[in-house]
Amino acid sequence: MGDLIHKLPTDEIVISGEDKESLLLLFGAKEEKQELPKTEPDTEVVDAAPTVILPRSGELAREGVLILTYILCFFIVSLQWVDDLLQVYIPLCKNSWIVRHLVKAVLFALILWIVVNRVYLMSSA
């Protein structure tokens, strides 16, 4: 954690009125801290350990399906026969590997978009 604000070094420059207005606008007026009522020693409030919130099993399953979808789409687009099909149907891909990779990236994004939207549509129905 960082340093406490009141322990940081400061200078003695007087703040102008415009600067004060800007600070008040940004941070607001300093509010006074309200003291909590004193409790008896046997009812002392102890800070509880932070609660860990785990996602539901359905959400984990959906995320797992999405990760497998990413892997499967990448695997399919990376196959050699996809390169061959692109070179047959898009002649520009035969001469330029950059264009071939751009077309494959668009193809990957399109397949992923269709599959992910289909998964979410099926899960929301």
70 contacts 112 by C-beta, under 8 angstroms: yes
Full-model pTM: 0.48
- Write out the chain's pLDDT in tens, 125 residues: 677 877 777 777 777 888 888 877 777 766 666 666 665 655 555 555 566 566 666 667 777 777 888 898 899 899 999 999 988 998 898 888 899 999 999 999 998 888 878 766 776 65
83 contacts 103 by C-beta, under 8 angstroms: no
Position 46 scores a pLDDT of 54
Boundaries of every domain in the chain: 78-125
Distance of alpha carbon 118 from alpha carbon 116, whole angstroms? 5
Position 104 scores a pLDDT of 92
93 contacts 87 by C-beta, under 8 angstroms: yes
Position 98 scores a pLDDT of 92
